[in-house]
């Protein structure tokens, strides 16, 4: 009588799980090196080296124009002439807009006629006074009348000049908001004017870095609008107060903008070189964090990986300063750290 052994599903599952665990642990066992030496783990290494290591303070800032103004009218009048187009580059005192000035010119002509007549009367009275035929009071009254008319003429001339709108400084105009025949009132925006020859950028840094910045210090700015391009400027002002809530301080820098590439409102990445260290440096990818500690896998003379505790200092993208645990020339694994363990046999494929 044949006997059949009935295997339970639970037993089959346990066997399958054991086989799977043995399979996934085979690479780790081979990495430690077998009798045949064929289990060496391929890795990429890099040497720890002493090099100049700039410590950079990073911040974000918004660009503003060196000078910026809305061009508006000072009197309510009709536009009779426009002397600019959208986006024109203009010089200081260049005429932009002329408003209706017929009443002011008529008033000025009237005052010129009255002044000329008053001066003739003044000359006649002076002659009479010299002959004792006119009183000193009459002479004084006529001189006062002449001076009053001249003052009124100055006021009329100022009113006439206000009807000619000029550029207060050199720069680039924005979009024209009016047309010939438009009625403009005080405060109505005719266009904008920005001096973009220099761009200012305001940003904040932590009070921790206050001792590392000074007026005239060089800064480097980048923008996503111009990948790979760097704009160089210098700090022009450091605020006199630290924000008691954020513990940060406001800084203003100026960047020359001869090509007018930077525009007001542009977001800029600001880098300030705090100081330059002569540091022992390795690639940041070599670090293996465990809790609050940092380790690296050091390659010894037998091509074995040695797990080594290190103390890190300053960081910058891709590199890290090593304060202790390594010496110059030590080789550390930068690629393949997940496949090795302390004492694993390795095969250097690059580095």
Please indicate, yes or no, whether residues 288 and 322 belong to a single structural domain of this protein.
Answer: yes
Note the pLDDT of residue 33.
42
Shared-domain flag, residues 284 and 340: yes
Q: 145 in a domain, yes or no?
A: yes
Residue among 296, 301, 300, 302 nearest 333 (CA): 296
Between strands 346-350 and 41-47, the pairing is parallel
Question: Same domain, yes or no, for 61 and 44?
Answer: no
Q: Are both 270 and 309 inside the same structural domain?
A: no
Asked whether residue 141 falls in the same domain as residue 131, the answer is yes
20 domain-assigned:
no
251 shares a domain with 263? yes
Residue 30 lies in a domain: no
Block mean pLDDT (10 aa), the chain, length 351: 53 68 50 48 89 84 92 90 90 92 87 88 80 76 87 87 90 91 90 93 91 89 93 94 92 93 93 83 91 90 88 86 90 89 85 61
22 lies in some domain: no
Range of the domain at 140: 101-162
Q: The tokens of 136 are what? A: 């000193």
In a domain, 12, yes or no: no
User: Is 171 inside a domain boundary?
Assistant: no
Question: Are residues 226 and 253 located together in one domain of the fold?
Answer: yes
Residues 265 and 283 both lie in one domain: no
Q: What is the pLDDT of residue 22?
A: 61
What per-residue confidence (pLDDT) applies to 251?
94
Q: Flag whether 78 is in a domain.
A: no
283 shares a domain with 233: no
How many domains are there within the chain?
Answer: 3
Residue carrying the six token digits 């037998």: 302
Domain match, 254 and 292 both: no
- Report the predicted TM-score, pTM, of the whole model to 2 decimal places: 0.58
CATH number at residue 344: 2.40.420.20
Per-residue pLDDT, 39: 65
Of 276, 303, 333, the last residue of a domain is 276
Residue 254 lies in a domain: yes
> Is residue 149 domain-shared with residue 296, that is, in the same domain?
no
- DSSP secondary structure letters along 75-94: S-EEEEEE---TT-EE-TT-
Tell me the residue ranges of DSSP E strands in the chain.
Answer: 41-47, 49-72, 77-82, 89-90, 95-99, 164-166, 171-173, 183-184, 189-206, 218-222, 231-242, 248-256, 267-283, 288-290, 293-299, 305-316, 319-324, 331-335, 346-350
| pLDDT value of position 30 | 43
Question: Domain end: 276, 298, 327, which one?
Answer: 276
Domain check: are 334 and 320 in the same one?
A: yes
Give the residue among 320, 336, 343, 302 at the shortest CA–CA distance from 45. Answer: 336
């Amino acid at each position: 009588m044949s006997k059949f052994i009935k295997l339970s599903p639970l037993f089959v599952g346990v066997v399958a799980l054991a086989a799977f665990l043995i399979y996934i642990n085979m690479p780790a066992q081979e990495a430690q090196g077998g009798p045949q030496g064929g289990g060496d783990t391929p890795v990429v290494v890099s040497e720890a080296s002493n090099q100049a290591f700039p410590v950079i303070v990073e911040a974000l800032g918004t660009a503003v124009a060196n000078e910026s103004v809305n061009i508006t009218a000072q009197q309510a009048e009709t536009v009779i002439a426009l002397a600019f187009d959208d986006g024109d580059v203009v010089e200081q005192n260049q005429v932009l807009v002329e408003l209706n000035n017929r009443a002011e010119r008529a008033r000025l002509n009237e005052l010129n006629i009255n002044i000329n007549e008053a001066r003739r009367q003044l000359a006649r009275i002076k002659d009479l006074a010299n002959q004792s035929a006119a009183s000193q009071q009459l002479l004084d009254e006529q001189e006062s009348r002449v001076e009053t008319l001249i003052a009124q003429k100055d006021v009329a001339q100022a009113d006439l000049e206000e009807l000619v709108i000029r550029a207060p400084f050199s720069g680039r105009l924005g979009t024209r908001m009016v047309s010939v025949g438009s009625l403009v009132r005080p405060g109505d925006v005719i266009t904008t004017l920005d001096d973009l020859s220099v761009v200012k950028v305001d940003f904040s840094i932590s009070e921790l870095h206050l001792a590392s910045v000074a007026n005239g210090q060089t800064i480097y700015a980048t923008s996503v609008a111009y990948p790979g391009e760097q704009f160089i400027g210098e700090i022009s002002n450091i605020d006199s107060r630290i924000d008691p809530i954020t513990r940060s301080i406001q800084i203003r820098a100026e960047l020359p903008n001869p090509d007018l590439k930077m525009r007001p409102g542009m977001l800029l990445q600001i880098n300030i070189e705090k100081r330059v260290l002569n540091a022992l440096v390795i690639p940041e990818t070599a670090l293996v964090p465990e809790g609050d500690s940092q380790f690296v896998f050091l390659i010894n003379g037998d091509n074995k990986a040695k797990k080594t505790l290190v103390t890190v200092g300053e960081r910058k993208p891709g590199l890290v300063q090593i304060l202790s645990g390594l010496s110059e020339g030590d080789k550390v694994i930068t690629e393949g750290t997940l496949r090795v363990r302390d004492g694993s046999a390795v095969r250097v494929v690059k580095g």
